[in-house]
Amino acid sequence: MTAVRLPQHADPALEWTGAKRRYDLVKEAVIALVAVSLLTVLLASLFSSPDVKPITVAQWSAAAPKDFLATALSELDGTSGVATYGPPYTHVAGAGQNIVGGVSLERALGVQIPIDTAQAFVLGPLAIPARTSPLIARALAIYEGAPPARQRSWTQAFATAVDKGNVVARVRAHRTLYGPVPAMMAELLAMARSGALDGALISTDRFYQTNFTKALLFLSDGSYLENTAAKQNLLGSQWGMMNETGNYPGQAWLWLYTFWYQIPPFSTSANADAQVWAIMGALSLAFVCVPFIPGVRSLPRYVPLYRLIWRDYYRREASA
């Protein structure tokens, strides 16, 4: 393929000394603003915007109590997604995605948002009713006073029981096998259903709160959030977060980022996020540096779209 031969022009860095035409920039800007404003109002009137209510822990625990209890137990015994996540949330040896080989920016930066899942999601919230309930205070004291192996045997036995059976019956199960865990879980479930856990997960020692990290991490460890997202076609395998609820365009500009997750090896890679971000970082840098990349910067000369854009000019040049 060869470049199309065209009339030679002066150095494009020099000020244009050829013919000019009247061009009212201010008028163009005003017309554009009015047109875009009207078009936006029209689109907003016709299509509105999505606003699906957020999921609450109260809603989750009422709709899927087994999932809620299984998640709470995994937070308590340190087997949940967040507990085993590694940086920036938890100290887990070797955890964190690698860009290539053993290179991990996640690990290099370390734990910057520390989360103790047992304390943050179970023990801390239960300490609130424990102030007025001797039963819960005693259950917490027994649990926290037991050796880790004993705690694990209780939570694992109870998790198995929850997985198999009726939730309400299981939370009142046998004390020898499950220790204080049924009492703790029954109280946590009651807190969740009443909405108290929603508040407890965002409360700190200060009055005003704007940080929902703990509450969102807890929700994301369960299956209920993901199942709800799947019904809205929002999973990563469904082009993920570039979509939004309902029939709206969403963040269509993220198509290239989301695209990588749809194809191998990224669709099955345990390090997909780190790899996709590395690729997008490199592509973004290349995009910014287009004027300096040999080959890429010459592409417009081989694609005759510019002839369409400047067709009047070329016609005038040809006739002259």
- Please state the φ and ψ torsions of residue 146, each to the nearest 5 degrees: -85, 150
> Quick check: 3 and 301 in contact, CB under 8 A?
yes
Which residues inside 177-206 make contact with other proteins, applying CB under 8 A? none
101 is written with which tokens? Answer: 């080989």
> Quick check: 246 and 227 in contact, CB under 8 A?
no
Q: Which is nearer to other proteins, 118 or 229 (CB)?
A: 229
> Quick check: 242 and 262 in contact, CB under 8 A?
no
Least distance from C-beta 1 to other proteins, angstroms? 15
- Cα 53 from chain centroid (whole Å): 17
* Selected binder of other proteins within 5, 20, 164, 206 (CB under 8 A): 20
Q: Which is nearer to other proteins, 18 or 148 (CB)?
A: 18
Least distance from C-beta 66 to other proteins, angstroms? 21
- Binding window for other proteins (CB under 8 A); candidates: 62-70, 157-165, 181-189, 247-255: 247-255
* Selected binder of other proteins within 93, 169, 288, 320 (CB under 8 A): 288
Which residues inside 204-233 make contact with other proteins, applying CB under 8 A? 210-213, 216-217, 219-220, 225, 228-229, 232
Q: Give the separation between CA 159 and CA 68, rounded to whole angstroms.
A: 11
Q: Which helix (H) or strand (E) holds 259?
A: helix 255-260
Q: Which is nearer to other proteins, 122 or 219 (CB)?
A: 219
Which residues inside 21-40 make contact with other proteins, applying CB under 8 A? 21-26, 28-29, 32-33, 35-37, 39-40
> Quick check: 275 and 81 in contact, CB under 8 A?
no
Which residues inside 95-124 make contact with other proteins, applying CB under 8 A? 96-97, 99, 105-106, 108-110, 112-113
- Please state, in angstroms and as integers, the Cα–Cα distance from residue 292 to each residue in 122, 242, 287, 305, 307, following that order: 55, 30, 10, 21, 23
Q: Which residues, 6+ apart, have CB-to-CB distance to 217 below 8 Å?
A: 82, 89, 115
- Binding window for other proteins (CB under 8 A); candidates: 121-129, 177-185, 186-194, 293-301: 293-301
Q: Which is nearer to other proteins, 35 or 135 (CB)?
A: 35
Binding of other proteins by 58 (CB under 8 A): no
The 124-163 site mask, x for binding other proteins (CB under 8 A), equals ----------------------------------------
Contacts of 311-317 spanning 24+ positions with Cβ under 8 A = 314/6, 314/7, 317/7
Q: Which is nearer to other proteins, 102 or 148 (CB)?
A: 102
> Quick check: 228 and 156 in contact, CB under 8 A?
no
* Selected binder of other proteins within 5, 94, 134, 253 (CB under 8 A): 253
* Selected binder of other proteins within 2, 12, 204, 295 (CB under 8 A): 12
Binding of other proteins by 293 (CB under 8 A): no
Q: How many angstroms separate the first and last alpha carbons of the chain?
A: 28
Q: Which residues, 6+ apart, have CB-to-CB distance to 320 below 8 Å?
A: none
Q: Give the separation between CA 100 and CA 104, rounded to whole angstroms.
A: 8
Q: Which is nearer to other proteins, 155 or 258 (CB)?
A: 258
Binding of other proteins by 266 (CB under 8 A): no
